[in-house]
Amino acid sequence: MSEPVSSGGAAVMTGVLGVASLLPGINAAVLFGAFAGGVVFVLSAREMGWAERAVYLLISILVGVLCAHMVAGVIDSLLPQAVEVPDAAGALVSAAVAVRGLQWAIRRAQDPEALIKGVGNGRDA
């Protein structure tokens, strides 16, 4: 049996996404793709608390919506010509990767000396 908190949270998020997709200028497929990518991250990040996961979910959705078209174009350029990649797929990938990239940048910024030492030797410090 599922927890009431997670079921209630899922119901609220579904309602919010449904209402947001009705707003003009927002592609519903991109919004749901970004949400799915954010959920992939949140479910894999077991070491974080619920509040931190919620903040990262919102960041992930925002980045997914904003970068959907660009990431879909990158994926499209890597695949054969017969394959067309929708913006929703770009939203899913960018949302799932965004927070991991942000966490990597935060870890790198916490040790500036390693960043400076790693510039000239070609290694990932």
Quick one: what percent of the chain has pLDDT higher than 90? 14
Q: What rounded mean pLDDT belongs to the chain?
A: 79
Structure tokens at 29: 């497929």
pLDDT band at 7 (very low <50, low <70, confident <90, very high): low
What is residue 118's predicted lDDT score, i.e. its pLDDT? 60
Cβ-Cβ contacts under 8 Å for 20 (sequence gap 6 or more): 26, 31
CA nearest 41: which of 9, 64, 14, 75? 64
pLDDT in tens, 8-46: 666 766 777 777 767 777 788 888 888 888 888 788 777
Cα 57 to its chain centre, rounded Å, is 7
Give the 3-state secondary structure of residue 71.
Answer: helix
What is residue 74's predicted lDDT score, i.e. its pLDDT? 92
Instruction: Report the pLDDT averaged over residues 116-125.
Output: 56
Domain boundaries, the chain: 4-117
